[in-house]
Amino acid sequence: MSNDTRSRTTVTNIGVAMFTVADQDAAKEWYTTVLDFEVRSDTRFGPNGEHRWLEVAPRGSTARLALNPPMYDQPGGSSIGVETPDVAAEHARLTAIGGVDLDPAPDDSTPGAPKLFMLRDPDGNHIAVVEVPASG
């Protein structure tokens, strides 16, 4: 299909990824304590304030992570990737915290593949921590 017949998108950014969580307060605590994310939004809405929009993010990130109660099913099952200039240091930091569902430290055994490890939040959402060298 030729691009000549289609108009270009007005979308310019992936701003918010969303995870379903069983308990927004517990998820907020885990993301701000374990991953050291900051709260970007924590707002009640709906006719009686019965809904809550909660966003967290790494400090300085333009992308945010919304932590929402499940709409139709069980929480968990989503995944995101976060970036670090030093994956070994981040793995060591998380290991020192203890109690984090964390895969073993990565090695350089797969040529061409990014250096990364996976962890899971308490609801079973997957987080890939990927090494991206600092530009400079």
Least trusted range by pLDDT, from 3-17, 72-86, 92-106, 122-136: 3-17
**DSSP conformation letters of 35-90:** S--EEEEEEEESTTS-EEEEEEE-TT-S-EEEEE--SSS-S---EEEEEES-HHHH
Sheet holding 51-57, edge to edge: 16-20, 64-68, 51-57, 38-45
Residue 6 pLDDT: 77
pTM over 0.85: no
Mean pLDDT value across the chain: 88
Q: Are 13 and 62 in contact (CB under 8 A)?
A: yes
Rounded percentage of the chain residues whose pLDDT exceeds 90: 62
* pLDDT of 1 higher than 70: no
| Mean pLDDT, range 40-57, rounded to an integer | 92
Least trusted range by pLDDT, from 77-86, 114-123, 126-135: 126-135
Give phi and psi for 84, each to the nearest 5: -145, 150
Give me the sign of the Cα torsion angle 30, 32, 35, 37.
positive
